[in-house]
Structures are given as structure tokens and as C-alpha cells.
């Protein structure tokens, strides 16, 4: 089925990386000033506002990270609240990372990149310790909510319904991707585009097409709610999504598709990837809100249970695609319906094709977990 039937809304590696010195003092300082709790990923994007310090982790570079660090990493992703800001943090790596850095520096020095080229660093982010784990799915529980009663619970739906069952929209629709440079970028910027064949609207279309080709009705809003201003984008997308849900009460799954941002203070972009049979894919992160005073999400546990079910299926397809779920004390419009999740498909360092592969995996996991 076509979404218009329902509604028509609008490789190489990273190079030129500098080694930072042994920084035990920095580690102690970060522990003293950050209050977000124990977490464990080297370059974490907490897609709402603050970044977090990640003392222990696994990645493609090594397992337990000791005091060798990259430059401080600035994470700026989806900010729901006006006035929220990023914070600098250091990702700590073990000695095995040094060999990678030496090779990267040598290749970059011998390559004729444009003047001012900046590196795009390839990595695979994996949880090691400090996260909550429910049935093999890791959760960074920044909300500090009690998750003891939460378990995976898919939303069971039948294919080939005459009515739409999934809504896809894009609060930050202009978010786009690294325009083809696997090794470098030529300026410090966050890629944004109003071309829906290049930005996250394209990723939503990939998901929508797979679902529709398998008998699932989808309404895909292609409007870019951040095009007229970033700070009120959530209000605008909330209003539009609410109208669709009122028009089509048959919709049970609501997906807000985004692109994350992981970039350091010197302009180095992170490119979180996973290897698949079809090629390199971007990593995914699901972002959930548990609500806060004045912006409650009464059924956040149901949203989390749904997300856990989908993530379990993603892990069956590819164990490296997922970054841990992020649960934060905010809303992200997830009060509108149970089955509401925000999906970060890749980062500003990933290419569009990498994001498309990740979207395909997500869509197939959604099909296998929720549709019969």
C-alpha cells in the first residue's frame, strides 16, 4: 500500500586523529562534575541534551578502556527542550587504539585531501557494563525509573488490514548525512537538507516501503517540522501527529525517525557502523521518554516494552546494529500513543547508504516482532 492512500503531508577509516595524553586527572574531574550516573560507551550520543562520560566500554578498538583518550567529544543531538545544551566529554580507550591511530595518521598524511579536511572516525559502539539489561537488550536508564516490572512485549497486529497501522514522521526532518566522504569532511557542520531524497525523510520512506510491501498500512508524514525553526519542532510535529492519530485510530505504532549527532570539539565526526551481508550499516539507537512534571508520559512502560521487543528482533538479525536504548526523563511526543518510539538512524558521520541499510534492518525487525 502507498502512504499517499491515507495522507499526503507534506569506507576507509578515519584519518588525521591526534593522540591525547594519559589523562587520569581528566577522568577524576569528569567523575566529579557529571551526575548522570554510571554508563559505559566510549562515544555516546544522548540525543536530547547532555552527553555523558563513559568510563568502561567495548568497541572495535578494544575492550576495557584505560587512560588514553581522544579529544573531548561534543554530542549535540535532538533537543526537545529550548535552552538545553551539549557538554564536553572524553571517550577513554585502551592501548590497542594507539596502533589504529598510528596507521590512520600515516594514511591521512599520504593522502591528498582538500585543505581543511577533518576526519570522520569509524567505530562500533557496544555496551560493556553499567547499563541495565532486559532480555539481552541494554538500556541507559538516565530517568532512574524502576524497570523491574518491564519486559519485552510486542504490539501484535495483522497484516493486510484495510486501515493504516503505522505512523512515521520526522520532528527534525532536515537532518541528513555525511555526503559520501568515508574518510573526511571539508568543514565543521551538521548536515541538513530540505531534499527528502537525502535527509531522514528518505529513511522513513525506506521503512515505509518495506512495511507496505509486506501488507502493512503506513501514513508517512514527509513534512520537515524543523525547516521553519528548530526550537518549536516538537510542538509542530506533535500537533500533526495528533491529527493523524485522531483521523486513523487504527494506528498502533508511531515512529519519529531522526539522525543522531556525534562530533568532537575540533570538528571530528564519529561514524558508528556495523558490518552486514549487504555492506556497512549505520548503528541505531532508540530514544524513549519517561516523562517529567508537566510533560508526563503515563504509558512509558508500554513504549519501553514495545521497544524491547523490536530490539530483541534487531539483535537476532545483527548483534552490532544497536546502541543501548536511551531512557530519559522527558517526553518526545510519546504521550500521544502507546507504541511510540524515537529512532536515531545513524549519525552525522554516516552516509545515506549506511543509514538506509540500518533502516531496512529496523523495518524487518518491526515486521517479525509485531505483524502476523
Residue-wise pLDDT for 127-179, tens only, equals: 877 789 999 999 999 999 999 999 999 999 999 999 999 999 999 999 999 87
At residue 243 the predicted structure's pLDDT band, cuts being 50, 70 and 90, is very high
- Contact between 275 and 309 under an 8 Å Cβ cutoff? The reply is no
Q: Please state the pTM of the whole predicted model.
A: 0.73
- Burial environment of residue 251 by CB neighbours within 10 A (0 to 12, 13 to 18, 19 or more): buried
Distances (CA, A) of 313 to 36, 102, 111, 154, 249: 29, 38, 41, 10, 26
- Is residue 20 pLDDT above 70, yes or no? no
Contact indicator for 118, 185 with CB cutoff of 8 Å: yes
- Per the model's pLDDT, the better-predicted residue between 87 and 80 turns out to be 80
Beta bridge partners of 85: none
Is 207 in contact with 362 (CB distance < 8 Å)? yes
> CB neighbours (10 Å) of residue 257?
29
Contact 75, 261 (CB under 8 A): yes
Mean pLDDT within 103-122? 62
Domains in the chain, please, with CATH? 3-11+134-370 (3.40.630.40), 24-117 (no CATH)
**277: which 3 cell numbers?**
551481508
Say if residue 226 is exposed, middle or buried (CB neighbours under 10 Å; 0-12, 13-18, 19+).
buried
- What are the residues facing 274 on neighbouring strands? 281
Lowest mean pLDDT among 50-59, 101-110, 277-286: 50-59
Residue 52 burial (10 A CB sphere; 0-12, 13-18, 19+): buried
Residue 1 pLDDT more than 70?
no
- Residue-wise pLDDT tens digits, 180-223: 544 455 444 568 899 999 999 999 999 999 999 999 999 999 99
At residue 273, the pLDDT reads: 92
Amino acid at each position: 500500500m502507498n502512504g499517499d492512500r491515507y495522507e499526503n503531508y507534506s569506507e576507509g577509516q578515519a584519518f588525521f586523529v591526534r593522540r591525547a595524553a594519559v589523562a587520569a586527572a581528566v577522568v577524576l574531574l569528569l567523575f566529579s562534575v557529571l551526575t548522570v550516573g554510571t554508563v559505559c560507551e566510549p562515544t555516546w550520543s544522548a540525543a536530547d541534551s547532555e552527553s555523558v562520560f563513559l568510563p568502561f566500554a567495548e568497541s572495535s578498538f578494544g575492550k576495557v578502556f584505560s587512560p588514553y583518550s581522544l579529544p573531548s567529544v561534543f554530542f549535540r543531538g535532538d533537543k526537545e527542550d529550548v535552552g538545553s545544551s551539549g557538554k564536553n566529554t572524553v571517550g577513554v580507550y585502551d592501548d590497542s587504539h594507539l596502533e589504529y591511530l598510528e596507521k590512520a595518521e600515516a594514511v591521512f598524511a599520504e593522502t591528498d585531501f582538500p585543505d581543511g579536511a577533518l576526519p570522520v572516525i569509524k567505530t562500533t559502539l557496544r555496551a560493556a557494563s553499567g547499563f541495565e539489561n532486559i532480555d539481552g537488550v541494554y538500556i541507559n536508564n538516565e530517568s532512574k525509573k524502576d524497570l523491574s516490572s518491564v519486559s519485552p512485549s510486542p504490539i501484535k497486529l495483522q497484516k493486510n488490514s484495510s486501515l493504516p497501522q503505522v505512523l512515521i514522521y520526522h520532528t527534525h526532518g532536515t537532518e541528513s548525512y555525511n555526503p559520501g566522504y568515508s574518510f573526511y569532511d571539508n568543514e565543521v557542520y551538521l548536515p541538513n537538507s530540505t531534499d527528502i531524497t537525502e535527509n531522514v525523510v528518505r529513511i522513513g520512506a525506506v521503512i515505509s516501503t518495506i512495511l507496505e510491501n509486506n501488507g502493512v498500512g503506513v501514513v508517512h508524514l514527509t513534512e520537515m517540522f524543523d525547516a521553519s525553526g528548530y526550537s518549536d519542532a516538537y510542538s509542530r510535529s506533535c500537533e500533526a501527529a495528533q491529527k493523524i492519530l485522531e483521523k486513523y485510530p487504527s494506528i498502533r505504532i508511531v515512529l519519529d525517525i531522526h539522525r543522531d549527532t556525534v562530533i568532537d570539539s575540533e570538528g571530528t565526526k564519529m561514524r558508528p557502523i556495523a558490518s552486514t551481508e549487504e555492506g556497512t550499516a549505520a548503528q541505531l539507537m532508540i530514544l524513549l521518554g519517561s516523562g517529567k512534571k508537566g510533560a508526563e508520559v503515563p504509558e512509558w512502560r508500554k513504549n519501553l516494552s514495545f521497544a524491547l521487543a523490536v530490539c530483541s528482533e534487531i539483535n537476532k538479525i545483527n548483534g552490532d546494529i544497536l546502541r543501548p536504548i536511551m531512557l530519559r526523563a522527558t517526553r518526545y511526543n510519546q504521550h500521544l500513543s502507546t507504541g511510540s518510539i524515537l529512532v536515531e538512524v545513524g549519525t552525522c558521520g554516516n552516509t545515506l547508504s549506511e543509514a538506509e541499510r540500518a533502516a531496512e534492518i529496523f523495518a524487518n525487525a518491526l515486521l517479525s516482532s509485531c505483524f502476523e
